[in-house]
Amino acid sequence: MLISLILITFLTLGGAALTHLIARDGPLLWRLSAGCIIGSTICGTAAFILACAFGLNAGTAAAAVIVSMLPLAVFLRPDNKNRLTRDWQRARGKLDGANSRKFARFAYYLFFFLLFLAFFSRAMIETPDGIFTGASQNLGDLPFHLGAIFSFTDGANFPPQNPSFAGAKFSYPFAADLLTAVFAKFGAGVSDAMFILNVAWAFSLLVIIERFVLNLTGDRLAARLGPVMLFFSGGLGFTAFFTDFWAQSQGLFEFIRHIPLDYTIGERFRWGNSMVVMFITQRSILLGMPLSIFTLNILWELVSSQKADESEKRKMLSPAMLPFFILGLLAGLLPLIHLHSLFVLFVTGVALLILWPGRRNELFSFAIGVALSALPELVWSVSGSASETTRFFGWHFGWDKGEQNFLWFWLTNTGLFIPMALLGLWLVFSRHRAGTAANPDARSTTKAKAHHLSEPAVDSLSLLWFYTPFAFLFVLANTVKLAPWEWDNIKVLIYWFVGTIPFAAIAISWLWRQKKWGVAAAVLGILILTLSGAIDVWRTASGQVMIKVFDKDAVEIARQLREKTPATGLFLNAPTYNTAGVLTGRPSLMRYTGHLSSHGIDYSARESDVKRIYRGGAAADQLMEKYGIEYVLISPEEKNTLSPNEMYFSKFPVTAESGAYRVYKVR
């Protein structure tokens, strides 16, 4: 674990240095948090390029880390060095003179840090009995990510091919898993590397979201509430929790220690808690979201800042455009990190260009940077991919509502969130209208001093316009299917949620500042908004879930196969999520059909051939020759689902064996 801590520190320092080229001002904690994400992004991308050329080894891993630290050279310039000194002095000043406000701020961050430690420690649990997960929604996702990681560390998978569908381009955004593999090449354990990266990215997201809400609202209480709403998101599932409690005989505290199921995701509720259904399962968004929100934050500060005089108007190629160009280069790395995040930035960027034509030079500079980074990655991902684009789009109303009424579905799944957001929007509009009535020639705004990164600004009209692309994302994701599996639209809907959080937070903050009834309403409101999510997060963080993913024989035979088989040896196994082949890093002819279908891959013909091979005979000989299969796994999973002809396979030599697991060398 120490190795992972040292490496994430290096990445954070390099990334934080780069923020000085993008933002002139900002708290040190925010710079370090953004630096963690930026450094991880640069290192993952550099590792991809270097490994494609030279393979992933200790040398290329070290080179990728060094590349991520090159931005430290910005401190050779006196102005950047002075800015760093100023940020450090401000941070020290916040620690001097203990008082209740500073203690509350420290307790706020400490609470989330400890929560993340407990929560993400449940992602992957290694025991003598095998590999487990303590996250209820992670049963299929954990082996998928492990398959990617081990394909990089032990499978020589460069340029990356899909380890779950041999011969096809690995078009899934894999940068988070590749960075984990980089850490492993330094000697870090895979589970330790995953844990440290997950905690670091989650805490960075906390700080970045807080700063985002603060800059949009100018309200520090709202800013504190923003991350609470995100990390404890949920709907009215707590009503089912209390129904289940009243239906049994245990006491409340005993029931809380043995919660039977999740209350934000299931047959009735589909808007799962962000921590439970996304951040611990879909590691890509845990890296992609903070990078996207960091970018949106800078763009908001651009469009909400005071317009430059004509005499000071900046030209397209002037040095003043450099921060936005660099920001675009970073955002353009999203295709290998989280493609849906890039789509969100595209929608937002187009909207900002339409709504703020006076900022077209800066926005065009940003767009050029995005294009230079993103287009090569997109071209690489698409060429040779087995994913069929037509499977990603289609008309589909109401997201995952099923037979439920649309309005009732969203009310039960998000609780008071939408009503509170509407109240917040009304408050912002009322503030704008009041300011305009008081002074028709003035904008109701607190102007920013800095150009690239402002002090918290409140421009009511700009804030309302800035929200329009997020509202559009909600409409779009409830009208069009943006992935083969309609539930995956949540990868876009979560950005509607994040973009709406400032308004819900404004409403809660406004209630808090009213008379006694307002305080009670604010407390009740935040409780209803977060109770369901808190129950699910507690269930995971407290260790109540323990699901076996790989038994000890699967772990043992994978160890043998890593030693006895070539890195690129092609395996045949049952199309299941937890085949032992995942842990070898070797490619499979095909794995879990659920993953393949969600990635838009037509696997039907190959699935039929897998069944024919396991039946044995002359057809099996021909098909194994056709695909170039070298090893065949027969384990309890194959026996239960495919009824393999073990007499046929007994003619081949056994390469590895452990318990009920046996691998035959067929080529």
pLDDT bucket at 440, cuts 50 / 70 / 90: low
Least confident piece of the model among 214-218, 325-329, 385-389, 498-502: 385-389
Structure confidence by residue, pLDDT tens digits, 29-59: 999 999 999 999 999 999 999 999 999 999 9
pLDDT bucket at 389, cuts 50 / 70 / 90: confident
DSSP string, 376-442: HHHHHHHTTB-B-GGGG-EE-TTTT-TTS-HHHHHHHHHTTHHHHHHHHHHHHHHHHHHHHHH-TTS
Structure confidence by residue, pLDDT tens digits, 572-631: 999 999 999 999 999 999 999 999 999 999 999 999 999 999 999 999 999 999 999 999
**Over residues 172-180, mean pLDDT:** 97
Which pTM was predicted?
Answer: 0.95
- pLDDT, residue 360, reads 93
Q: Are 362 and 302 in contact (CB under 8 A)?
A: yes
pLDDT higher than threshold 80 for residue 454:
no
CA distances from 157 to 80, 328, 473, 614 (A): 40, 29, 36, 26
pLDDT bucket at 385, cuts 50 / 70 / 90: confident
- pLDDT, residue 441, reads 54
- pLDDT, residue 54, reads 97
**Over residues 312-337, mean pLDDT:** 86
Helix (H) or strand (E) holding 126: strand 125-127
Q: Kindly provide the b/e burial profile for residues 298-323, where b requires at least 16 CB atoms within 10 angstroms of the residue's own CB.
A: bbbbbbbbeeeeeeeeeeeeeebbeb
Q: Which two structure tokens, joined as six digits, stand for 650?
A: 């007994």
Structure confidence by residue, pLDDT tens digits, 504-535: 999 999 999 998 899 999 999 999 999 999 99
- pLDDT, residue 459, reads 79
Q: Which two structure tokens, joined as six digits, stand for 152?
A: 């990089």
- Residue matched to tokens 């318990």: 659
The mean of the pLDDT values for the chain is 93
- Percent of all residues in the chain with a pLDDT value above 70, rounded to a whole number: 95
Rg of the chain over all Cα atoms, to the nearest angstrom: 26
pLDDT bucket at 639, cuts 50 / 70 / 90: very high
- pLDDT, residue 455, reads 37
Q: Which two structure tokens, joined as six digits, stand for 247?
A: 């239906």
Q: Kindly provide the b/e burial profile for residues 106-133, where b requires at least 16 CB atoms within 10 angstroms of the residue's own CB.
A: eeeeeebeebbebbbbbbbbeeeebbbb
Q: Kindly provide the b/e burial profile for residues 488-504, where b requires at least 16 CB atoms within 10 angstroms of the residue's own CB.
A: bbbbbbbbbbbbbbbbb
Structure confidence by residue, pLDDT tens digits, 393-431: 889 999 999 999 999 999 999 999 999 999 999 999 998
Across the beta sheet with 631-634, the strand order is 571-572, 631-634, 661-665, 654-658
Q: Which residue has the higher pLDDT, 656 or 319?
A: 656
pLDDT bucket at 388, cuts 50 / 70 / 90: confident
Least confident piece of the model among 246-260, 281-295, 298-312, 472-486: 298-312
pLDDT higher than threshold 50 for residue 310:
no
- pLDDT, residue 436, reads 66
pLDDT bucket at 439, cuts 50 / 70 / 90: low
pLDDT higher than threshold 80 for residue 230:
yes
Q: Which residue has the higher pLDDT, 298 or 312?
A: 298
Structure confidence by residue, pLDDT tens digits, 465-484: 999 999 999 999 999 999 99
Backbone angles phi, psi at 321, to 5 degrees: -85, -15
CA distances from 326 to 20, 28, 32 (A): 11, 20, 18
**Over residues 643-648, mean pLDDT:** 95
- pLDDT, residue 446, reads 42
- pLDDT, residue 96, reads 79
**Over residues 299-316, mean pLDDT:** 68
